[in-house]
Structure 1
Amino acid sequence: MPTPPADLTAVILAAGTGTRLRPLTETTPKCLLDVGGKTILARQLERVAEAGIPRAVIVTGYLAAEVEAHITTVPQAVQVTTAHNPEFATSGNCMSVLAAREKITSRGIVLCDGDVVLTGDAMARLAADAAPAALLLDRETVLADEEMKAVLDAQGNVRRLAKPLPPAECAGESIGIQKVSGMALPIFWATLEAMREAGDTQGYYEDAFQRMIHAGVSFRTVPIGHHEWTEIDDQADLADARARFAAR
């Protein structure tokens, strides 16, 4: 049975240091940078509310107090709590996901990288998709080394997910927003715990997804147009986002 949006929790990963955006991020976490009069985090919470997701857990790390303070100023269309990753400076984002686990009581999560700005209804379509596990895929972007690329099987499900994949074999870029619900969610938690127990704390949640795929879990893709989103990694990305989303 599909997990309805009302039984999902958004998990927004906002623990990173944003080193490629310094000096802007020396005193401001990346998720609190302004894009068109709103912070990246505020924009994400708007999309969460529009998708009908009633709860969000913000995972903090770097400059956590600033994130906590900002949350109190954002209109609360969803119930927001925080979880802290004390290992944010030395671990991969898999540990940030695990930091949120004890706050999750819903049957599913929508997991979001905290540096993605998006418009439109893509998150709502992802939340409403019948598949237990699915991710937003941009099939229009020009793929290079930096992108998280996806190879699909004959049924259109993800077969391989990683950055170091030949672009010619890939269907598009996974933008860093995905749903894990139903039977897939306990498998996800168990996979992340196994990574931690093996000492793989530098890993990423996509590594867990790939292990799940190898174990037989299907990840469907939900399309998103290239004009509907951007990821903010550096100063050029930020300038582009501010130009593209100023009036949205």
Structure 2
Amino acid sequence: MVLVLVAALAVAGCGGKKHKTASTGTTTPSGKKVKQFKAPSRPQPATATKKPGIKTLAALPKPKKLHHGKSARLRGVEGLSVEQKLAVFANDTGGWWQSQFTQAGVQFTPANVNIVTAPIQNGCGSTITPDYKYVSEYCDADHSVSLPVQTLNTIDQDPKYGDPVVAADVAVSFGFHVLTIIGVNKSGADQAAVTDSALCLSGLYMSTLQDRFDTGDIDKLAAGFPDSSSASVNAFVVGFRSANFSKCVRPGGQPGINP
């Protein structure tokens, strides 16, 4: 039912080593400003004092599962521009992860989000354009998530995909971010396995959206079969169906799906 989502993710090609941003706005060489902010923007409660590590996922509370519905519109984003939607999705995803970490008493580092309306360069040296070839890019060097507006608007306007798939694409970048701050996405790590883990975490997050979206939006993720590898499809589905953090990382904190 969720296979179409991975189609956009495959188009995205979210590399585990790339994705970028800063904090309020930056002027590009073209003179245009790119919106930048931290997600989530609200500070984490001081009760979270533990340092994140490879055991963090196992310590997180079990997320609530989705219930199914019939409608097909994300709640709260009707009439918004794609730039505004991306900001909503990034803050929602970042806020959810921070809440999970806080409940476990673990410190969470916000991601730096770039809403890319003009070419920018991230901390990994990649130049991200509004029509970038991937739907998002995560950079572990500066904890940044870059979201190319033109590319994502094309997906958002496609009736087969729309808002749910855009939200999931954003969630994959946050999956890479979580894997980075807990030490799974690191130098020398198997990037194919890291990507599977990020897809799994994205699926897990998407399974919790009953309080944020109209649940029928998940039906849009079943609109078609993606031109995507079976491993990528499986990674997302494992997270979506299991709602089990431990399924998204192998024993010993190694990246990949835990059977």
Scaled by the length of structure 2, the TM-score of the pair is: 0.25
Which has a greater percent of helix?
Answer: 2
Highest relative contact order (Cα 8 Å, sep 6+), 1 or 2?
A: 2
Which has a greater percent of strand?
Answer: 1
